[in-house]
Amino acid sequence: MPELPDVTVYAEHLERLLKGATLRKVRLASPFVLRSVAPPPGVLEGRALRGVSRLGKRLVFSFDELFFVLHLMIAGRLQWKAGVASAPIPIPKKIGLLSLDFDRGSLLLREASPKKRAWVRVVEGRAALAALDPGGLEPLEATREAFVARLRSENHTLKRALTDPTLFSGIGNAYSDEILHAAKLSPVALTSRLADRDAGRLFDATRATLAGWTDRLRREAGDAFPEKVTAFREDMAVHGKFGKPCPVCGTAVQRIVYESNETNYCPKCQTGGKLLADRSLSRLLRGDWPKSLEELEERKDLRRQPGAADHS
């Protein structure tokens, strides 16, 4: 899912490309992408775009007091095609959801996943727009005191707190893994038990991680519209790196899998060598789940011994 750094860079490029441009046509290839009834998307046609901004993980296209709000969800991606409104770009079959045709070109919304979750809404007025804001604190704008207060406002694991859009804005599965690794904190540590020193370290890691990746994505895109938007990047420390060495200590990255989400962490850097029980594997292995890196390595050594397969 595109998160704060990705959505910020999307918004910046769209602002440069389209601010002041006239929206000529809204073409819907899938009626299910539209999650609002009134006002209809057609009211935006013929209006000049005043700006593009980020609202959590959403993109907001402002047409005076009318707003086109787009949430990419997990697999939604944008593609920009320069051209003229009189010759609109065809919407790709199967993966194409809609097109916003401006007098400078077309902005296409695509979603490769068979589960079409991306959505758009058209709302009128600032109050209606504010109603779509989950209310999370902006992590790059907050003071240390405000960040820590929001962190401790509810008792959750650090992973859940960082990814709760009502607590913090724009942080999802990928960057929460990177933040917690940078802070050297366990993803399952409870916010209510977090020491002041650790809370301050988490604040610093959050700002450094999000700002650092935003700048990196800006540099990667350059003047071109960002096309390679992904939650799995080669330079990430732990996210999507299960089994690979931690870039800090070399320990194999571990993970916790829950439904369609997974948490990646380094047991040496973040959990004092303790392995966090994966729920599905814990049920399968029951009391056989290794509790430490040492126990995990011992089991690997046993499996490597001749004849070990005969006793499995």
pLDDT at residue 296 tops 60: no
Q: How far apart are the C-alpha atoms of 24 and 96, rounded to whole Å? A: 19
- Average pLDDT of the residues in 257-267: 86
Q: How far apart are the C-alpha atoms of 87 and 272, rounded to whole Å? A: 60
Q: What percent of the chain has pLDDT over 90?
A: 76
pLDDT category of residue 58 using cuts at 50, 70 and 90: very high
Q: How far apart are the C-alpha atoms of 111 and 107, rounded to whole Å? A: 13
Spans of all domains in the chain: 4-130, 144-270
pLDDT category of residue 11 using cuts at 50, 70 and 90: very high
Q: What's the CATH fold of domain 4-130?
A: N-terminal domain of MutM-like DNA repair proteins (3.20.190)
pLDDT at residue 301 tops 80: no
- Which is nearest to 133 in space by CA: 172, 176, 170? 170
pLDDT category of residue 86 using cuts at 50, 70 and 90: low
pLDDT at 232: 87
pLDDT category of residue 258 using cuts at 50, 70 and 90: confident
Architecture of domain 144-270: Orthogonal Bundle (1.10)
pLDDT at 227: 85
Tell me the C-alpha to C-alpha distance, in Å, between residue 89 and each of 19, 99, 110, 150, 254. 20, 8, 13, 45, 44
More confident residue, 300 or 99: 99
Q: Write the pLDDT tens digit of every residue in 270-294.
A: 999 999 976 544 443 344 444 555 5
pLDDT at residue 17 tops 80: yes
Q: Which residue has the tokens 């593009």?
A: 52
Q: How far apart are the C-alpha atoms of 221 and 80, rounded to whole Å? A: 13
Least confident interval from 4-8, 91-95, 196-200, 287-291: 287-291
> In the β-sheet with 105-111, what is the strand arrangement from edge to edge?
23-28, 96-102, 105-111, 76-82
Q: Write the pLDDT tens digit of every residue in 109-136.
A: 999 887 889 999 999 999 999 999 999 9
Q: How far apart are the C-alpha atoms of 288 and 299, rounded to whole Å? A: 10
